Structure formats: C-alpha cells, structure tokens
Chains A and B, each alone.
Chain A
Amino acid sequence: MAERSFAHEVLKLRAGEGTSFSGEGILAVTKALLQSGVAYVGGYQGAPISHLMDVLGDAHEILEELGVYFENSASEATAAAMLAASVSYPLRGAITFKSTVGTNVASDALANLSSGGVTGGALVIVGEDYGEGSSIMQERSHAFAMKSQMWLLDPRPNISAIVDAVEAGFELSEASSTPVMLQLRLRSCHLYGTFTAKDNKRPPMTVTDAIENPQRQLDRIVLPPASFLHEKEKIEDRWPAAVEFIKRRGLNEVLGADTADIGIIVQGGVYNTLNRAMELLGCSDAFGNTEVPVYVMNVTYPVVDEEILDFCAGKRAVLLVEEGQPDYIEQNLNAILRRAGSPVALHGKDLLPVAGEYTAAAVTRGLDAFLQKYLPDVVRSSPSLLMPEDDARSPFAPRVDAAVVRPRPPGLCTGCPERPIFSALKLAEKETGKQHHVSADIGCHLFAINEPFNLGATTMGYGLGSAGAAALNSKDADRRTIAVMGDGGFWHNGLTSGVGNAVFNQNDQLLLVVDNAYSAATGGQDVLSSQADSVLRSTKHPIEKAVRGVGVNWVKTVSNTYKIGALRDVFVKALTTKEAGPKVVVAQSECQLNRQRRVKPQRAKAIKEGKRVVKERFGVDADTCTGDHACIRVSGCPSLTIKANPDPMRTDPVATVLDSCVGCGVCGANAHAASLCPSFYRTDLVYNPTWRDRLLSRMRGGWIGLLTSGVERRAARYEVSL
C-alpha cells in the first residue's frame, strides 16, 4: 500500500475529449501517457515521481481495459531495459524514475537502448531532484542525455505544456529512432493546474500482439560491427531527423521577437521563474508579454544550431539562464556562435550563480545585472530583494537573531520502527565497549547519521550499504564493521552487490537489514518481502531466505524491533561471534506511517461497533522526571519532547509525550534497556470494556482507594491545596 491513495484521482484518468482536467503535474503526465496510446509503462519510485508510479498502480483497471502493461520495476536498470520492447516493435513505452540517481542505475541499459535506437516511441520521464527539498547529490540529468545521445525535453512548468511534451516526446522519439528523456523538476511534479483532456487511446499494437509475433533486427543489437554503425547513424541520421522534427513542430518558442536588440535564452523548466524576474524588473507581465526577446528551450538537447543563430542574429548580447552545473548548454552555445562567427556577447554563469537552484531571487539578480549593462531603460522597477542586506527595506535585513532559528532537518516519524533499531545498536556498542565504522545506505534509516544517534559514516547509493564497507575488512582488526541496508535497497540490488559480494569475499561485516515491509522512504510502495497481500504483485518473500540462498550462514531475523533489549543482545552476538563471513540481522517491524494509515480507520470502526479496543500511549511523570533528557538523547521521537517544569522549585524543562504518540513502546523499552529512569508509563485506554473489565476495575478501585486514603491523609498534614 502506497503512502497516498490515488483511487479518487484515478477516476479523472477516464476524462474524455474536451473535458477540463485539474490535478498535480504527475497525474497530468499519467493522463498524457494514456492519451498518447502508450503500450507499456514501468519505473522505480522515488521523489518526485513516486506519485506517478502510485497513480499507475491505483489505475490498474483502466490500464487493463486499454491493454496497457504496467509493472513496478525492481530497479531503474530494470525499467530502462524494459524499453527494449520498443526496439523492434512499434510499441510506445514509458518509464519513470528519480534523477539523477535513477539515471545512474539505468545508464547501462539506457546506453544500449540509445545505441541500437528504437522503432516505437520510448520515453524516459525523469523527476529531477535538484534544489531545495532534494535528498540526493546535486547533479544534472543533462549529462546522461548527452553521453548516450538521448533527446532531453525540459517543458515550461505549466500543466498543458507538460502534457503536450509527453505526446511530442513520443513523436520525436519515433521520428528520430531515439529514446527521449522528459525532465520534470521537483516543483513541477507537485504543481497543481488544469488542462483540456483528450480521449484515452488504446495502443495500436499491444504487448500481447508483439509477443505473439516475435521479431528481431540484427542491426539493432549492440555488437560489432552494428555498434560502430550505430554511432555513425546517431550523427548522420537520427540527429538531423530530431532537429528537423523540433523545428517543424516548433517545440522551442521565441517570445517578444524583435522587441529589443538583446535577448534571453532559457531552459523551459526555468521559464516561469525568468518571467517572474522580468515582471519584478518591469519588462514583462503575467501573460508573458515580454519587452525583451526570449527563446524558450523546451528541448534542451539537442540544441538546434539554426534556431540559436537566428535568435542571436542582430543582437548585441544574449543572456543564457541555465540551471545547475557544469554549464553544458553555455559551452554548446559558445561553440555554435564561435563557429558561425557571431559577434553577439553571450552571458550566463558570469552573471548568474554557477551552482545551485535558480530561485526567483537568484534569477532576478542575474537578469538585473544583464539588463543594467545592455538595456537599462527596460528596467522600470527595482524589487526589494535587490537591495543590500544592510538596507532596512531589504527582505533579508536582519530582523531575527539567527541563534533562535534552529535547523529542522527531517527525521524518523513518531513510532518509527527504525528508531529502536538504532537505540539498540548504540546500546550494543556501549555493551561491547567499542565504536564501529558504520556504512549507511539510502532510506529513512540514513536519518540515523543525525542527532541523537550519530551512526553512519558514508552512503554510497541505494542498496550499497554493504558494498560501502567492503574494503574495511581485515582479519587483524579487533572489531568488525557495520553496514546498514533497507528492504528497498536490499531488493533493488543489495542482495547481489552487497550480500553476495560479502559472502564471496568472506567479508566479516555485520549487515543490518531494516525490513519495514515497504520501500518506505519513497512513499511506502510494496517490495518482494512486503507482508501485505497484493492483487497485482507477489509478496511475502522473506529476506532471510534470500540471504541464506546466497550463502550466508549467520542470519537472525528479529520480528519486533521495539524489543530493544532483545535486539541489543542480537547485535552484541553478531558483533562478537567467531563465525566467519557476513553476519546478517534482519530487523522487522512495519513502517509506522503505513501502519497508522492501515490501523487507525480499523480501530475507529471497531470502537464504533462496540468492540473492546485498547488504545495505548506513553507518558512521563513530571514529578519523577529530573529534566536531564537522557530519554530524548537515546530516542529522538518527535512525540517525545520537553515542556516547562510544573514543579515551582525546579527550573529545567521536563520530558513530555505529545498527543501524537502512537504507543509504539520505544520510550518504555529504552527506559528499560538503557536503565534510564522510572518516569515512563504507558496508559491503556479501554474502549467498550467487557463485564470482566468492569468487575476487575471495581475491585481494584476499592482496594486502591483503601490504600491511598492513608497516603493522602498523611500528605494532607503537610500540604495545602490553594
């Protein structure tokens, strides 16, 4: 079950010709795929395109009706290889993943696909995770498009434009026998807007048709001599065909032609930001009526030489707004202009930031510098963000003490089953008296590198936690290294790149596999080892079985991570056992975010139906809490926080548990396992008690009342209540 259900939105996918369709960018792309007669879709989830996969998963009925094949690929490499179906068959295929991490994983298949070329349209929809909110290293997909020679569409952030780009992408791919990448930036994926829908189209050929009529073309297979011919063909046939198509269809736009003798060239994805900057400076309006010519590159690769030269002709200077580095397009434009002997001055990263996200503020500053130099008359207003920071009118004038605004990085959710794992690991280190090198992986568990756990030294990629510790394997060392991997990364590639590798090379590491039943960090998608029954997929394949299958002998599965003491003991054993080879601990408990989504409605329903339900939550006694916050330092749960000390004699804040507590039990287990303090208690609220409950409660009440009266009588001699 994915984090968000799109069952409601999916109904919109049935919208027919002329209907107004409103929704997120991702949903619009899905609709565009169906309108384009796509025959098959695959992909691997990851922000910002997770929802695209989730929508398709929820839309399986519609897909089946249309004869569209959809799969949740095991990895981006799998997804990319899937496009092989478009090599010989006129099938339109689309895959999607997060870039650039996905492109990295998929690059082998993408290179082979691009070499041989395609018959049916092949579209790679990449969600560009760049800038604020990104969770990965900052790189550009552009490099992948260039290196394998795939065309790169970067449509302006507008729902209609994105939908058009999907359809144009397929056509461009077919016209040039080349796979096409459609780049959607982070904010565009979550952009809400409206477009006019068309009817969904059943693919003219379905995958069934293809299977039943197998074909092959020897000259499309990547093996010499064909591979040498492919390279030639790319340059001599496919590139010119693509350029011809882009020009003919007018995929790139020129706005405000001839309004001035300078111009601006911009990536489609940055167009809205540029227009906003121009509005702020007073040379464009909300409807894009610019007073400076703008060339919008909705296709950023290949660059169409003639269009560039046409646009620059007769201009004194041109500013290129290209986000990210290296400055691939700027280099390209310089080569084009130089070769053609153009006198135009090309500006770009000399005026705009070399690296980092092109926010409205960044583009406004760079554009202002450019216009002030060449055409100051069009700058009719000066937004406050251009003022120096020491000017009181600047939005950045210091109005708040930096010390009181603390960073708030993401962390593990309330009740997360991974929290007790890291608490247990810390306790195991305490018990063995040794600290270890911890090789981390991609996933929520990577949050353990921060406070309060501070565990983890490197992260080399999804599923590469074990491999990241491969070199740190020595028979002479007095301890072993620890590697972490999530179930998502494990099935993505970790089983072979990590576990198999460790067995083969007799690595002595302790490998912790965090098995929370979902690919949780990407939005709770099912994986092979998921515990839920799935109509579409085969689940419940235990990780332990897979690990043993590749030759690990020492494997322990702990089925309840909240038992911190037990987990700590397993870690201690794994860290101290004499047995050779990797020691694998599979720590299982369901992702709490998904669990709560599943359990909450069930519980509400049961209470309503009059069934006995016990709701648990934790609490801290302010009387016994001495305000040392040791509990917070071993847990870091968002629901475990501090509040003013209600005791007038004490001054330091006490620990407290918020209403958001889901009663997972980590506080109590930590209080036990770390011998913390006696302040933690669990409250069990009983709904719809049975007669037995009531009887017991009456007996208890009587006895307790009897005993307390003496206690209270004594206290009343000394205390007064005001």
Chain B
Amino acid sequence: MSAPSSWSAGRRPITIAILAMGGEGGGVLADWIVAVGEQAGYYSQNTSVAGVAQRTGATVYYVELYPRPDDQPAGVRTEPVLSLFPTPGEVDVVIASELMEAGRSVQRGFSTPDRTTLIASTNRVYSMDERLAVGDGRVDSNGLLEAAHAGSRRLIAADFMKLAEDARSVISAALFGALAGSGELPFERAAFEDAIRASGKGVDASLAAFAAGYDAAGRPAPVPLPEPAPAAPGSGPVPITIGRRRPVDPAEEAAAEEERRRDEIARSHPGHLVGPHLQPQAARVAGAFPVAARSMLLHGCVRTAVYQDPAYSDRYLARVARLAAVDPDAEGAAALTTEAARHVALWMTYQDTIHVAQQKIRRRRIEGVRTEAKAAPGQLVNVREYLHPQVEEITDTLPTRLGRWLAGSSLFAKVVGKVTRNGIVVNTTGIIGFTLLWIMARFRPLRPRSLRFGREQVAIDAWLDRAVAAAATDAELAREIVECQRVLKGYGATHHHGQESFGLLMDAVDGLSGRTDAAAELVRLRTAALADEDGTALRAALGPRVVVPARAG
C-alpha cells in the first residue's frame, strides 16, 4: 500500500474546539453541534474534560464531524477513528466564549492563521487577578483582539454575551447562531435551529439569541486600535495608563465619545456644562484656565458644589489655579492642570457619611438600580443598604470639638460598637430608611466645622505645596505627585492603609526631587502602593532607604 495521505488530501473530519468557562454552557453547545452533525448523517464525536474544570475554570470541549462515505469503506475500522484532542494547527473552527479565552486558543495553537475560523465573543469576564488589584489590573483587551486577528484565518467577533442577554438567553445559543452564520459547517440554518428545538429547554429565548448570533456573524469583526499617538495636543483628558487600549468595551467607548462631545462644548460654551448657580465659576474657568483642562474643571466645579456649596467650588478653582500657573504646556494638552483638576476635586469631595447619604437618595440612583435589576415598569422594587458606620466615621462628621471629645470616649465607642458590630441594613425605599439618609444628608452645612474636614483641607494644601514646589523644576514630577491621590481610596481599614501609603509616597518625593528619573521613580512607587492592600509591595519598593514611619494622613 502506498496511498497518498488522505489527511493532507482533505479526507479529514471537521474539527471544532470550544473554549469556555465552566458553567457557561460549552457542553450544551458541543451537544447541539453533534446533534446537527448526526442529523446530517455525519459521524459525530464530542469529548470534554469536565470534572473540576466546570467550576468557573477554563475548559475545552472538542467536536469532530466526519462525513459518512457513500459506500462502506474497506478498512480495519467500520467507523472513522476520531481524535479526542484538538491538535494544534489542525482545528477548523474555534469558538471562544470570551476575549481572553480567544487569546488562550491562539496561545495554545488551536486557532491558527492558516486554517481556523475563530468565533470569539468580545466581552470580557475578568480573571481573578484582574479583579483583585487595588487599582486597575485589567489586561489590554486590544492586545487580545490583535491576537484574535493574527491567530485566525477568519475572525468572527462580536459581543455575543450581550446579544444573548438581550434575548434573555445564554451565550451558547448566540455562539451556536454565529457558527451557523459563519457558513463553515455544511448544514442549513434550519438544521441548527432544529437541534435547539429538540433540546426542549428555553427554546424561544435560545432561538432569539441564535438569530442574533447568526446575523452578527455576517458583520465585520471589530478592528484593533492603532498604537496611541504620543500626547495628542489638546485632546482632552489624558489616559492615565499609557499603552493600555481597550476598544471593545461598548460602555467605555460610549463614555469616551460623551467626554469628547463635552470637551467641545467646554471649549465653545463652558457655561452650558454647569447649572445656573455655577455660572460665575464657569466664567472663571473660561477666563483663567487652559482650554484643554476646561471640561475636567467644570466636572470638578459641579462636584464640589453639589458636595458642599459654590464657595467650595471657588476654593477648588483657587487650588487648581496654583498648578495651572506653573503648567508648562498650558497652551497644549495642559496635562498638569487637567490632572490637578481631576484629583483635587476627588480629594475635596472625600467620601464621608453625609456624602454617601446624599448619593444614596438621589433619584437617578434609584432609577439606575431598577434598570440594573431589570425591573419591569411599575414593578415593586425594594433597595436595602448594607452599612457599617465606624466610630471614627461618625466622630469625623461631627463638629470638631464634639467629634474629638466623642472620639476619645470609650463609652461612646462601646455603644456604637455594640449597635453596629454586625452592621445595619437600611431600607432606602422605606419611609424610615429614606428619612434617616435624608436627614444625614442634611448635615452638609455642618461639614466645614467637622473634625475630618479640617484635617483633609490641611492635607490637601500640603500635597499641593509639594506639587507646586516640584513644578518649578520638574513638571512631570509635579503631575505624578498630583496623581498620588489615587492611592487614597476605600473606607475604613482600606482607606487607612491608603493614607499610610500616601504618607510614604510623599516622604519619598522629598528624596526624589532633583533626580532626573524622579517622575518615573514615583510612578514605580505608586504602582507598588496600588499592588496590594497593606502596603507590603510599597515598602519593598521603597527598599531600606526609608525607615517606615507609619503615619496616618
């Protein structure tokens, strides 16, 4: 016998690998494909490694379909010998339920540019380590999209998760639709739909998701963004993490578009972006600040005014003005002013109980909750807050003297501790709960006399003093100092750790000024501060130079 290779001559099964996470219905999808194949007379085999992998772990399902020959083949086997493993370089169709899994299929060599039609859902299901980061641990999805393009002969990509959710179904149905729509399998659309009908569960919703997936397969896949241009002048807020591109989150894309639109209005009609009582502030922004920073400044004015009053906005503008005055690129991107506008506002509107209460009772918030819960119009919805006020948070809100006295009282701490040890649940949609929060929000006029307010204003000015001082010689360093506000986040213990880290960073700044790599070094330290919760990474990054003075801001 010296027959030429039947494999390379095309006598081979259609091979399909499905990369999904356990619980996403990858098994159901594989079963549907087998059902379609069987019904068309194909030898159909399906294997998986389920087991523990089903608990949210990455899982591979594999299907082979072999056309039934017209006459019984002469051979040692009466049925084709099908493989149980996807072979790298030999997979015809890869279906990935999520963008990182698409990247994994390329990494494992299942999806290859010479052969594979890659059907990938562009949504992200963030991995555990992306979610755990104190700051932003998300990977560059643009890189994943680039890999999906580079690692496939043909890419079919869309947010199949969204299509499925819109149809109140599951992603496997939408992906099955995309497989049918891809035309890669020699079966009619009706055969696919029959397989769904035969499974008998949630048929109508599945068929709707199938149809949406089918149509999406006919549309071009999203294209990766090009490398970002280095500092486009006057293009509004500068991205914080340079090099990270995330084009495929539609919510983010819409938000970016909205900001672009805002920026234009800010340049031409700044007054349109604030309410009637903030027109003087808008005029001041228009008159005395770099054009590129306007949108952010107007955001800041509104935020500070809602938080306290227009006078507080004036104080805000005065603070940012100190940095605007030393901004070396005021005519251009004005990055220093823009970032100062952002971070000064965020710090000045620190999260205290008064502010949290106000946020909870806003009308748009309750409406947002209803939308998120997919409540039908008019459907009854109750919203319950899980609150855990700490002694410190209460005393912080009180007038300085009373606050200080109560903070020192062990009896007060005991009483509060007893009441709140296991937390309290407040029904915001109830009369008592809402009224409680409403009253708390009404404490706003007392805030400027509170213990914490005084402390924060001193700290803000000290921080800005450092930034302004640095700006005289090193504007980059000044901007990085401004950005250190990012580590001040969270509540309770998390916030406390943030303050400690912030203190360490500011101490480090003093040793950095004058160095040519000062800004880069501060970025490195700040990244370390955001790497974990308790400052271990920061202390390691600081090295033995600093004898750790644990200080709370």
Please tell me which one of the listed residues B55, B79, B382, B490 contacts residue A677 in the complex, with CB atoms under 8 A apart. Answer: B490
Is B513 part of the contact surface with A, judged by Cβ < 8 Å? Answer: no
Q: Chain B: which residue is nearest A157 at the CB level?
A: B84
**In the complex, what residues of A have CB within 8 A of residue B130's CB?**
406, 642
Number of interface residues of A (CB under 8 A): 140
Kindly state whether residue A255 has any CB partner on chain B within 8 Å: yes
| B438 to A: closest C-beta gap in Å | 5
Q: How far is the CB of B18 from chain A (nearest CB, A)?
A: 13
Chain B 467-504 residues near chain A, CB threshold 8 A = 486, 489-494, 498
Q: Are B533 and A630 interface neighbours, CB within 8 A?
A: yes
| Structural contact, A708 and B144, CB atoms closer than 8 A | no
Asked if residues B56 and A410 are in contact (CB atoms below 8 Å), the reply is yes
B384 interface hit (Cβ, 8 Å): yes
Within residues 397 to 447 of chain A, which ones have a CB less than 8 A from any CB in chain B?
399-413, 444, 447
* With known contacts A133-B53, A279-B7, A400-B144, A410–B431 Cβ distance under 8 A: no
Contact A718–B143 (Cβ < 8 Å): no
CA distance A711 to B439 in the complex (A): 11
Residues of the A chain whose Cβ atoms lie less than 8 Å from the Cβ of B533: 628, 630, 633
Q: How far apart are the CA atoms of A193 and B85 in the complex, in Å?
A: 15
* A399 and B150 contacting across the interface, CB-CB below 8 Å: yes
Contact between A286 and B81 (Cβ–Cβ < 8 Å)? yes
Q: Which residues on A sit within 8 Å (CB–CB) of B49?
A: 131-134, 186-187, 190
CB contact between B362 and one of A193, A383, A715 (< 8 Å): that residue: A715
Contact flag A678-B385 (CB < 8 Å), given A133-B49, A630-B490, A716-B275: yes
Q: Which of A57-65, A219-227, A644-652 lies at the binding interface?
A: A644-652
Q: Which 5 A-B pairs have the closest CB atoms?
A: A133-B49, A672-B423, A282-B5, A395-B109, A410-B57
Q: CA separation between A385 and B90, bound complex, in Å?
A: 9
Can you list 20 pairs linking A and B with CB atoms under 8 Å apart?
A135-B51, A158-B79, A286-B6, A287-B76, A287-B78, A287-B79, A288-B75, A359-B85, A403-B139, A406-B127, A408-B58, A413-B23, A447-B55, A565-B421, A627-B136, A653-B136, A676-B492, A683-B382, A707-B361, A718-B275
CB interface residues, A 488-536, toward B, < 8 Å = 521
Contact with A along B34-50 (1 / 0, CB 8 A): 10001000001111111
Instruction: Report how far A396 CA is from B55 CA in the complex, Å.
Output: 28
Which of B126, B240, B262 has the largest count of A CB atoms less than 10 A from its CB? B126
The contact of A671 among B126, B388, B493, by CB within 8 Å, is: B388
In the bound assembly, the distance between CA atoms of A411 and B22 in angstroms comes to 10
B8 & A282 in contact (Cβ 8 Å cutoff): yes
- Check if B133 sits within 8 Å of A629, measured CB to CB: yes
Whole-angstrom distance between the Cβ of B186 and the nearest chain A Cβ: 17
Query: Does any Cβ of B come within 8 Å of A237's Cβ?
Result: no
**Distance to closest chain B CB from A35 (angstroms):** 20
Residues of B within 8 A of A689 (CB): 380
Contact B85 A673 (CB under 8 A): no
Known: A272-B83, A280-B87. A400 touches B147 (CB 8 A): yes
Q: Which A residues are CB-close (under 8 A) to B490?
A: 626, 628, 630, 677
Indicate if the CB atoms of B48 and A699 lie closer than 8 Å: no
**CA distance in complex: A565, B420 (Å):** 11
Given A451-B129, A629-B132, A678-B388, does the pair A649, B303 have CB atoms closer than 8 Å? yes
Among A279, A711, A718, max chain B CB count under 10 A is at A718
A114 at the interface (CB under 8 A from B): no
Contact B89 A395 (CB under 8 A): yes
B255 x A642 contact (CB < 8 A)? no
Chain A residues closer than 8 Å to B369, beta-carbon distance: 619, 681, 683
Complex contact B275–A719 (CB within 8 A)? yes
Please indicate which of the listed interface residues A565, A694, A700 has the most CB atoms of chain B within 10 Å of its own CB: A700
Q: What chain B residues lie within 8 Å of A408 (beta carbons)?
A: 21, 56-58, 100, 127-128
Instruction: Assess whether B379 is interfacial by the CB under 8 Å rule.
Output: yes
Q: Is A722 an interface residue (CB 8 A)?
A: yes
Whether a CB of chain B sits under 8 angstroms from the CB of A624 is yes
* Contact of A629 with B134 at beta-carbon distance under 8 Å, contacts A395-B109, A408-B21, A703-B431 already known: yes
Is B537 interfacial (CB-CB < 8 Å)?
A: no
State whether the Cβ of B218 lies closer than 8 Å to any Cβ in chain A: no
Instruction: Judge whether B536 is part of the interface by a CB distance below 8 angstroms.
Output: no
Chain B nearest CB from A501 CB (Å) reads 28
B527 at the interface (CB under 8 A from A): no
For residue A29, give the distance in angstroms from its CB to the closest CB of chain B.
Answer: 15
CB neighbours (8 Å) of A47 from chain B are 50-52
Whether B388 lies near A286 (C-beta < 8 A) is no
Contact of A410 among B13, B22, B305 (CB under 8 A): B22
Please determine whether B138 and A48 come into contact, CB atoms closer than 8 angstroms.
no
Q: Which of A253, A385, A412 meets B87, CB within 8 Å?
A: A385
Within the complex, the shortest CB–CB distance from B406 to chain A, in Å, comes to: 18
- B551 interface hit (Cβ, 8 Å): no
Which parts of A259-311 form the interface with B (CB within 8 Å)? 259, 271-273, 275-276, 279-283, 285-291
Q: Are A717 and B277 in contact (CB under 8 A)?
A: yes
B535 in the interface (beta carbon within 8 A)? no
Q: Is A621 an interface residue (CB 8 A)?
A: yes
Q: Which of A381, A412, A450, A452 contacts B5 (CB 8 A)?
A: A381
Known: A192-B45, A410-B55. Contact between A380 and B5, CB under 8 A?
yes
Is A108 an interface residue when CB atoms closer than 8 A count as contact?
A: no
Which of chain A's residues has its CB closest to B262's CB? A722
Contact string against B for A residues 362-383, beta-carbon threshold 8 Å, 1 for contact and 0 otherwise: 0010000000000000001101
Complexed CA–CA distance, A470 and B12 (Å) = 57
Indicate if the CB atoms of B47 and A289 lie closer than 8 Å.
no
Known: A384-B112, A652-B486, A700-B429. A364 touches B87 (CB 8 A): yes
Residue of A nearest to B259 (CB): A648
The distance in angstroms between the C-alpha atoms of A683 and B361, with both chains bound, is 15
Nearest CB of chain A from residue B179's CB, rounded to whole Å: 18
A210 to B354, CA, bound (A): 80
- Cβ-based interface call for A138 (8 A): no
Chain A residues within 8 Å of B231, by CB: none
Does chain B have a CB within 8 A of A638?
yes
A287→B13 CA distance, assembly (Å): 12
B435 contacts across to A, CB distance below 8 A = 703, 707
Find out whether the CB atom of A380 lies under 8 angstroms from the CB atom of B8: yes
Instruction: Say yes or no: is B2 at the interface (Cβ < 8 Å to chain A).
Output: yes
Q: Which of B85, B345, B351, B363 contacts A712 (CB under 8 A)?
A: B363
Chain A residues contacting B507 (CB-CB under 8 Å) are none
Contact across chains for B379 and A410 when beta carbons are under 8 A apart = no
- The answer to whether A693 has its CB under 8 Å from any CB of chain B is yes
A360 and B87 within 8 A (CB): yes
**Min CB–CB distance A675 → chain B (angstroms):** 5
A606 at the interface (CB under 8 A from B): no
Q: A411, B56: Cβ atoms under 8 Å?
A: yes
- Whether the pair B493, A675 counts as a contact (CB closer than 8 A) is yes
| Min CB gap B149→A, angstroms | 9
Contact assessment for B52 and A410 in the assembled complex, using a CB-CB cutoff below 8 Å: yes
Which chain A positions have C-beta within 8 A of B34? 192
B151 nearest in chain A by CB position: A399
Structural contact, B87 and A681, CB atoms closer than 8 A: no
Question: Chain A 681-702, CB within 8 Å of chain B: the 1/0 string?
Answer: 1111111010001100101100
**Chain B nearest CB, measured from A24 CB (Å):** 9
A546 CB, min distance to chain B CBs, angstroms: 27
Q: A400 and B274 in contact (CB under 8 A), knowing A628-B498, A644-B249, A682-B383?
A: no
Query: Is B273 interfacial (CB-CB < 8 Å)?
Result: yes
- Among A275, A566, A681, the most chain B Cβ lie within 10 Å of the Cβ of A681
Residue from A623, A678, A683 in contact with B365 in the complex, judged by beta carbons closer than 8 Å: A623
User: In the complex the two chains form, is A360's CB within 8 Å of B83's CB?
Assistant: yes
CA distance A385 to B110 in the complex (A): 10
Is B88 in contact with A133, judged by CB distance below 8 angstroms? Answer: no
User: Which chain B residues border A672 with CB–CB below 8 Å?
Assistant: 386, 388, 422-423
Among A402, A444, A624, contact of B55 (Cβ-Cβ < 8 Å):
A444
Centre residue among B7, B259, B305, B390 by max chain A CB count within 10 A: B7
B132 touches A699 (CB 8 A): no
Residue in A408, A413, A675, A716 whose Cβ sees the most chain B Cβ within 10 Å: A408
Chain A residue contacts of B87, Cβ below 8 A: 276, 280, 359-361, 364, 383, 385
